[in-house]
Chain A
């Protein structure tokens, strides 16, 4: 069987586990530059599902598609080190402030430009927003079916794919025709690690913007190896209607943001002595907290 053409949607996300004071801008958007940036965990798992298909069906090509600032090219390299065949970065100031609707619009235009394809894989959700919306919204804009929360791609041929999906309270096995968009759940297996050979091969993969500072020799070397080129697509490349992008294309607005400050309550500190604990129990019984 000939291989498949797979697009993996990936996002570079701020590591929300380490949020400092300076991480928020005054307008309520996230100051991504102030945080360490990582490959969104469920997107990596989506990549692994694609790589497994490639293992099984040689000739399969995997292209990463990411939207973000210039530095998001980092995760394309991360994907190349693990076995992806290429990656495209959608980047433009005009995308700034996009909510999931505007983002899915831009992504769907890029995907149309990459057509034909057999399958789009994406993480279920990104850890910075936890919305799980961009995948289904892109599928709707492309007019293709979606299968969300994939735990395993059970089998695939050129007509259809069988997917096991994880629900809150169980599992479902679905059969969907190609092309289809599949979002991958956190319960799917981890992505393999970087491959040393691929790391050597792709460590100089760069976008045009990243090449700005390069020496002539470096540029020459780069040009002789087209696989090192990470294309950058802008609004113009996508032929996008600007009214559906950025803030104007985003029906949701952030009205207010409050940092989670946990108000320190008047807490009573007790020891583990018999007296302290018995007194606590009696108090709880008296005020009917426990019966």
Chain B
């Protein structure tokens, strides 16, 4: 009762990274709130899934296994979660801000008439005083997200409704094993009590999911290019630099729109959020939507021919110059000086 529950998304027979990130965060929140961490998997049967889940510090794992529950479909998954939440009354429910989570969470929140905050970038616990009603609330979930096109950061709370629901974007939270030997309980749900025939009126006729995806989020060094790179061919330089440094290549939306790189590599508000040790921004002006996805990088180097480009103001090093000259020099001097 009144625990924290995480919906675990299934991807290629395993649990999606974003869900493991949420379990990691969920464990910390549970410790802070002195409650238990629970997880729910809705899928066809996956043997041994608990061995993946428990090391993240999960106390109870609910399994709703049924052939018909994979691949994901809105109505049956919403029915399982809505009923489970009604029974278990979690105080916090977390889902990934993915195609699945953003489709599913609002459906549940509407049924339970509870608050939902999409795309959180940070979750904290804190108090709140309603000045009008002179009412104090303790240990609420602060759901922190960029809003309004990334121009503001809003802290959202749900004082009166439970669960406090939030979706969190992939890659913004760390994924960390809590205790490799941690043991929780498995509770199998009788799916016939949770879904009805009407939940299967929508049919999937065809599905093409790309298996191995480009994923720059885990890279510790990201060399990122913008519209100022000029062409797809010039991006080759960035791949070469990333290659010698042991990193990966990202880009701005303008570079994606121009066809220089695929969308999977886009950094920013409508792309991925990255926090590498080193982010090298090449020919990127530094629009607020771009910075939203990279400003937490430990170190930022910008290469821009415009000394007044906004990116320079958040860079640790701003190299004023042409990307066509500077990047080959970086490669050259790296090769010369690295052991």
Q: Which residues of A contact B (CB under 8 A)?
A: 14, 16-17, 19, 23-24, 28, 30, 99-101, 104, 127-137, 139-141, 145-149, 162, 167-177, 180, 250-260, 262-272, 274, 276-278, 280-282, 284-285, 289-291
Interface residues of B in 306-339 (CB under 8 A from A): 307, 310, 312-322, 325-326, 329-330, 333-334, 336-338
Closest chain A residue, CB of each to CB of B158: A251
| B307 touching A269, Cβ below 8 Å | yes
| A173 touching B204, Cβ below 8 Å | yes
Contact with B148, one of A16, A170, A280 (Cβ below 8 angstroms): A16
| B299 touching A289, Cβ below 8 Å | yes
| A255 touching B201, Cβ below 8 Å | no
- Given A19-B149, A131-B118, A252-B116, A140:B111 Cβ within 8 A: yes
Closest chain A residue, CB of each to CB of B130: A253
14 contacts between A and B (CB under 8 A): A129-B148, A140-B107, A148-B74, A170-B209, A173-B204, A180-B202, A252-B117, A252-B156, A253-B157, A262-B314, A268-B318, A272-B321, A272-B326, A285-B338
Closest chain A residue, CB of each to CB of B331: A281
Measured CB to CB, the closest approach of chain B to A273, in angstroms, equals 9
Interface residues of B in 73-130 (CB under 8 A from A): 74-75, 78, 98-99, 102-103, 105-107, 109-111, 113-119, 128
Closest chain B residue, CB of each to CB of A24: B152
Measured CB to CB, the closest approach of chain B to A278, in angstroms, equals 4
Contact with A269, one of B105, B117, B128, B318 (Cβ below 8 angstroms): B318
User: Which among A131, A134, A139, A263 has the greatest number of chain B C-beta atoms within 10 A?
Assistant: A131
Measured CB to CB, the closest approach of chain A to B282, in angstroms, equals 12
With A174-B204, A285-B338 given, can you name 6 additional A-B contacts, CB distance below 8 Å?
A147-B202, A173-B204, A266-B316, A267-B317, A272-B329, A277-B333
Measured CB to CB, the closest approach of chain B to A61, in angstroms, equals 25
| B154 touching A281, Cβ below 8 Å | no
| B157 touching A133, Cβ below 8 Å | no
| B312 touching A281, Cβ below 8 Å | no
| B205 touching A162, Cβ below 8 Å | yes
Measured CB to CB, the closest approach of chain B to A290, in angstroms, equals 5
| A271 touching B329, Cβ below 8 Å | no
The 7 closest A-B CB pairs, nearest first, are: A16-B149, A272-B321, A251-B115, A170-B209, A140-B110, A136-B106, A137-B110
Measured CB to CB, the closest approach of chain B to A214, in angstroms, equals 35
Measured CB to CB, the closest approach of chain B to A16, in angstroms, equals 3
In the complex, A284→B104 CA distance in Å? 45
- Given A170-B210, A260-B152, A265-B314, A277:B329 Cβ within 8 A: yes
| A277 touching B151, Cβ below 8 Å | no
In the complex, A234→B322 CA distance in Å? 58
- Given A16-B148, A169-B209, A271-B321, A281:B337 Cβ within 8 A: yes
In the complex, A19→B116 CA distance in Å? 25
| B155 touching A256, Cβ below 8 Å | yes
| B201 touching A145, Cβ below 8 Å | yes
Interface residues of B in 259-304 (CB under 8 A from A): 277-278, 288, 291-292, 295, 298-299, 301
| A290 touching B203, Cβ below 8 Å | no
| B316 touching A265, Cβ below 8 Å | yes
Measured CB to CB, the closest approach of chain B to A140, in angstroms, equals 4
| A255 touching B118, Cβ below 8 Å | no
In the complex, A169→B320 CA distance in Å? 37
